[in-house]
Amino acid sequence: MVNEIIPPFSARNRGAAAQIDNQCPESTRIGLLYLVRQLIEVKYVEGWKEVKTELQRIARVLPEADPAYDPSPQELLLALAWDKVLDFCERLYSHLAREVSYYDHDLESSVVVTPKSEVQGFITGELQRLFLEENLAFEFSGGVVRRRGRRHTATQIARAELALGDPRFSAARAHYNKALKFFRNVQPDYENVVKEAVCAVEAVARVLFPGKGKTLGEVVKSVTGSESGQLPKAIANTFHGLYGFRNSGDGVGHGGADGGAVTKEIAEYALAVAASQIVFLADLAATLESDVPF
């Protein structure tokens, strides 16, 4: 089982910086080279020769086409197209990873010290950590590189994180960060993604509209109406809908709830919608503030 990957301080402190998409920075490649060296040192990968052969195959370098051209693994990795680097990450997991064993002469058989599954678990965790450190718009799980979320989702998350920088929203920010962590973790917890995302919206609503209710449903109901500065009923229903799923989704809210299973797609939808609702509530409250005379 892979332990939860905690992003380093630099990643946690990055704020609303956009994730890196459709590129693989040199710093990421250097970090990957350090990982490969570590894997070779602990014998999780056979050696640089095998790594170089795999990189040449991915780069489609003709074998022995020019004896004078003999690039190092480092040169090959630094020159690869960005998406081919991610191909290499998958091959590192599936093809280059190997079990660690030794031959016991007394038993006259091989003894496995570290099974391949454990080696692959280690590689998964280290690649996921590298992707988080580099703020890539990807995650590594199950031996496959996947996008963390659609570009639209990433954009809405960045806007919400900017809004949540307001010191008043410390509780909401903690909830939303939990939702992101549950979504991006090596072993995602989609039910808790929904729960924490909605809790973040609720925390923002209670701060912005004090005395209007203790729950998100109560707050939204109290500010719904047709007057200027109020929530039109149709828009209010979008808040009630997500809040209702928070209370009725399978494994999300109350025990025994049967409101439907939470899939990855639904979890991502909840993240994006919650982000939009947070930004909208902040904008709505700003329009209700009295003008400050100068």
Which tens digit of pLDDT belongs to each residue from 131-161?
988 988 888 888 988 877 676 787 788 889 8
Do the domain assignments include residue 2?
no
263: burial class by Cβ within 10 Å (0-12, 13-18, 19+)?
exposed
Q: In the prediction, which pLDDT does 292 show?
A: 42
Q: Are residues 122 and 174 in the same domain?
A: no
Q: Are residues 48 and 90 in the same domain?
A: yes
**Residues of the chain scoring pLDDT < 50:** 1-2, 16, 251, 254-256, 291-294
Q: In the prediction, which pLDDT does 184 show?
A: 72
Beta bridge partners of 110: 103
Q: Are residues 102 and 120 in the same domain?
A: yes
Name the pTM for this structure: 0.56
Q: In the prediction, which pLDDT does 146 show?
A: 80
Q: In the prediction, which pLDDT does 55 show?
A: 96
**Cβ(272)–Cβ(152) below 8 Å:** yes
**Domain final residue, candidates 115, 147, 179:** 147
Give CA–CA dist 234/232, Å, rounded. Answer: 6
Do the domain assignments include residue 4?
no
Q: In the prediction, which pLDDT does 4 show?
A: 59
Q: How many residues does the chain have?
A: 294
Q: How confident is the model over 93-128, as pLDDT tens digits?
A: 999 999 999 888 888 788 889 999 999 999 999 999
**Cβ(124)–Cβ(72) below 8 Å:** no
Q: In the prediction, which pLDDT does 1 show?
A: 41
**Domain final residue, candidates 147, 167, 191:** 147
- Domain count for the chain, please give it: 2
Range of the domain at 278: 151-288
